[in-house]
Amino acid sequence: MWRYVEISVFYFKPNIIDPFIIISYDYLKNQKKINLTEIRFFKSESDILEYIRINKFEMSNHKDDKERSILLQLENAINDYLTGIIIDLFEEMKSMDVLLDLRNKFKTDFSQKVINSLIKIRPGESTTYSDIAKKINSKAYRAVGSVLRNNPLPLIIPCHRVIKQNGKLGGFMGQMDEDWGTNLKRSLLKIEGNIISK
């Protein structure tokens, strides 16, 4: 059944790293759950406000106590992760009344296989685009990169743990300034205890 989806957003400045984080979601009032639609990193608060304005998003006003509670848990979990506490954020979502709706985010069989392989990579581990392709019986490692570039939930779906075969970092989120995105990816790996020098 078709349902109008009202996207709300909230954002915060993590305790540890520089970028601001914005979280977009749909609050399912009847289920008392949030459907997480996107996580993005921004250099500045002004960049976030411009993004909200352009997309005509509604700032979260926490009308519901349960909504407020879930968002606080989510922010705390991300902050805990960024301080170096070993947390599998994908698994953590299951205990928070947070829905990820991966089938609608990754619509093809190939992209779902890529994501299912990726979420098995634990904090502190890394893999390569070609290794993921091999695990899903494909040679299309460039297509793996395309799926990850369009990942709307970095941190939750840990695309930062995928590096190039030659040991270089590769891109991160696909839409950022290259140096800034690469440095952020390096910082996330370092937080997990995975030092990449290239």
Active site residue 159: yes
159, 163, 184, 188: the catalytic one is 159
Q: List all residues 6 or more positions away from 132 whose beta carbon is below 8 Å from its beta carbon.
A: 114, 117, 118, 141, 144, 162
Output the six-digit token pair for 4. Answer: 């109008």
- End-to-end CA gap in the chain: 49
> What is d(CA 71, CA 60) in angstroms, rounded to the nearest whole number?
10
> What is d(CA 27, CA 99) in angstroms, rounded to the nearest whole number?
10
Q: What is the dihedral of CA 162, 106, 135, 132, to 10 degrees?
A: -20
- The strands making up 8-12's β-sheet, listed across from edge to edge, are 58-59, 8-12, 20-28, 33-42, 98-99
> What is d(CA 111, CA 148) in angstroms, rounded to the nearest whole number?
9
Which residues carry out catalysis?
159
